[in-house]
Each structure stands twice: as C-alpha cells, then as structure tokens.
Homo-oligomer: A and B are copies of this chain.
Amino acid sequence: DAVEEAAEDAAEALGPVVGIVMGSQSDWPTMRPARDTLRVLGVPHEVRIVSAHRTPDRLFDYAETATGRGLKAIIAGAGGAAHLPGMLAAKTRVPVLGVPVQSRTMNGLDSLYSIVQMPRGIPVGTFAIGEAGAANAALFAAAMLATTDAELAERLDMLREAQTASVAEEPDDL
C-alpha cells in the first residue's frame, strides 16, 4: 500500500536506515518477518546475506561502512555458533539487534547463548529464538527510530493498538 511504497521509495532515494543481515539463505524464512514488519511500518531497509564464517571480510566491510551509509540499526540473524551479531557489534557503533535462528540439534539454544552472552563492552540486544524474535527486532528498531520520528511513532502506536484490538474476548471454538 501507500506506506509500503513510500518506504521503498525512501530507501531508494535516501538509502536504508535499517540493515537486515543473516548468515545464510536458510535463515531467510526466519528473518522474513523482520523485513515484513519494517515494510508495514514504512522503515527504509535493506536485506543482505553476510556469513561470519564463510565471508568474514564481507562482515567487516558491512560493519565498517554502516555509519557512513546512514544505518541506524542492524538486525542480524544467525544459528548454531552464531557469531554474526557479536562480530558486527565489535566493528560498528550502530546498535545491533540479534535474532537467534532455531538450530536443528539444539533448537536454537546454542544460537541464543552465542548471541546474548556478550562480554562487557560490546552489546547485542537479543530477541526470542526464531520468527517471533525477527519480527520483534524489527519492532524494536522502529521504536528506536520513533524516539526521534513522530510520524513513525504514530504508525507504531497504530500497529500496537490494532494488535491489542485483535485479541478476541474468548477462544474461537469454545
């Protein structure tokens, strides 16, 4: 719709303000809700694959150019020994939001611990394992931007109100 189109236009014109990155193609189904949420809220964004282990130089490049390209937040999803969010945070001052991707053998517990247990000095804001975490990272990024963007704040409030309104009084098939 109009808001989404405006966001795409803005991203093209001004460049993205949020970067969504993930370790591999297989993380995309988990991360897609982050993209969808930013679209709905009209937040200019980009989506990239950056593998900490297979493309470490791309990771460094991405982080080193982040402030210069105007990014205000990076949403990074990774699974298993998930080093992507923490290493991005090590290389840029831009806030990094980490999304633990559900791994096959440990259900994402390895991903969660690898992302959230950062040592003092380099923070990663971490969200729930899986799609809920991806969507929430996007909502959080929007909330960050909304502290200095009244229109976005309003859109975010509307989204939250709609969410509240959508909760039925009773279960469907009582």
Contact with B along A122-138 (1 / 0, CB 8 A): 11111111111001110
How many subunits of this chain does the assembly comprise? 8
A110 to B56 CA separation, bound complex (whole angstroms): 22
A44 contacts B by Cβ under 8 Å: no
B49/A169 in contact, CB under 8 A: yes
Partner pick for A102 among B105, B168, B174, CB 8 A cutoff:
B105
* Known contacts A56-B60, A106-B129, A81 near B143 by CB under 8 Å: no
Q: In the complex, which residues of chain B have a beta carbon less than 8 angstroms from the beta carbon of A143? A: 93-95, 123
Would you list which residues of chain A between 146 and 162 have a CB under 8 Å from chain B?
146-148, 153, 156-157, 160
* Known contacts A95-B144, A126-B127, A167-B51, A119 near B156 by CB under 8 Å: no
Chain A interface, number of residues (Cβ within 8 angstroms): 90
Contact with B along A53-86 (1 / 0, CB 8 A): 1111010100000000000110000011111001
Q: In the complex, which residues of chain B have a beta carbon less than 8 angstroms from the beta carbon of A90? A: 52-54, 56
Would you list which residues of chain A between 88 and 108 have a CB under 8 Å from chain B?
89-91, 93-95, 97, 102-108
A-B contact pairs, 8 of them (CB 8 A): A24-B119, A35-B174, A52-B86, A82-B114, A87-B87, A93-B160, A105-B107, A107-B107
